[in-house]
A and B are shown apart, each in its own frame.
Chain A
Amino acid sequence: MAIKVTLTGRLADILDKEISLSSPSTVGEAIREVAGMDEEAKAFLLDDEGKVRDNIIVLVNDENVDDLEQPLREGDVIFLLLPIAGG
């Protein structure tokens, strides 16, 4: 199952703007898979207890999702919007 994840902000600089995941079955699993790719990315995505940070805006097919257990389907597109602060 191919899931496309678009990363933004610092996360895109660390990893890539678009990455493809093959196995996640839920939104939460997808975020953990991305977090597992890089230590700095992990710090942005997971808190000290390993929970997904609740200051990330998660879009699945342009819908704002806050249920990390939401199942993913083939072809879903995830956007992970980390907080950005510049001005």
Chain B
Amino acid sequence: MNFERYARQMLVKNWGEEGQKKLQSSRVVVVGAGGLGSPASIYLAVAGVGELRIIDSDVVELSNLNRQVLHWDKDIGRLKALSAEEKLRNLNEDIKVEGIAERLDEGNGEELLRGADVVLDCLDNFPTRFLLNKLCHRLGIPLIHSVIFGLEGRITTIVPGKTPCLSCLYPQPPIEVRPFPVVGVAPGIMGCMEALEAIKLLIGLGNPLLGKMLRFDGETMTVQIFPIKRRENCPICGNLH
């Protein structure tokens, strides 16, 4: 394996050749190739994560282009999964990239996620997020969750049986505001944080946001980190220890 592409990141303390090989042998599934999924998958690709699977059933629309940086004018009308696959392959020819133009559902979910070392929630709606949360708990796969609204973003890292899950945080289905306001840099920042959390989990580096939520407020440039709690009676993770 030629490490020249990764030489600078391998200088990071506790990364080195061993950390790079861990990334190379990892599989990450990114669910959603939009505002969060674009930056997240770009940085996972250039970091050398060996296998990336990008799941999205939507097509690129003009109104996506203020934030979904994997997709360009020429891609309007094209499936996001295929647009993402093309760009990510061109970014790093060392890695395997697979774009899957399907909507995650009960029927295909386990098959699409199986074998993942980490899953990234880069979705834009709660029903699919709850399904993803359930599937990751069933399969025992860590899930990086992030959401944005306007200039605000939130992120937490969910490890089944160890941390609160999405159903602990939101026992009732939330009221969703659609279309949601968004400035591209907000998902840009949060998607990068998701990639960083995934890399940390894969290499075993630093302190991931376990049992903690980070909230970024772009309006005031403030960051809060606060503890979040498991619910004993959570139907998804209450019986996992």
Binding site for B on A (CB under 8 A): 8-10, 13, 17, 43-44, 47, 53-55, 57, 59, 62-64, 66, 79, 81-87
Contacts and interface: CB of A to CB of B under 8 A. Distances in A.
Interface in B35-73: 35-37
Contacts of B124: 85-87
Given A9-B177, A62-B224, A63-B226, A84 B149 contact: yes
Interface string B168-199: 01111111110011100001000000000000
A53 B36 CA distance: 27
A9 B122 contact: no
Contacts of A44: 175
Q: Which of A9, A53, A55, A84 has the most CB of B within 10 A?
A: A84
Nearest to B32: A87
B154 interface: yes
Given A64-B229, A66-B229, A87-B146, A55 B182 contact: no
Interface of B: 32, 34-37, 121-126, 129, 146-150, 152, 154, 169-177, 180-182, 187, 213, 215, 217, 219, 224, 226-229
A81 B219 contact: no
Contact of B228 (A9, A43, A53, A57): A57
B228 A86 contact: no
Contacts of A47: 172
Contacts of B172: 47, 53-55
A10 B219 CA distance: 14
A64 B169 CA distance: 11
A59 B187 CA distance: 23
Would you list the 8 A-B pairs with minimal beta carbon distance, nearest first?
Answer: A83-B174, A84-B149, A86-B180, A87-B124, A55-B170, A87-B36, A86-B148, A85-B176
16 contacts: A8-B149, A10-B149, A17-B219, A47-B172, A57-B169, A62-B224, A62-B226, A64-B228, A82-B174, A83-B147, A83-B174, A84-B154, A85-B125, A85-B147, A86-B148, A87-B34
Contact of A83 (B32, B121, B170): B170
Among A8, A13, A83, find the residue whose CB has the most chain B CB atoms closer than 10 A: A83
B34 A85 contact: no
Nearest to A17: B219
B149 A9 contact: yes
B171 A55 contact: yes
Given A64-B226, A81-B215, A87 B35 contact: yes
Given A13-B181, A81-B154, 12 more contacts: A53-B172, A55-B170, A55-B173, A55-B174, A62-B224, A82-B174, A85-B125, A85-B126, A86-B124, A86-B147, A86-B181, A87-B147
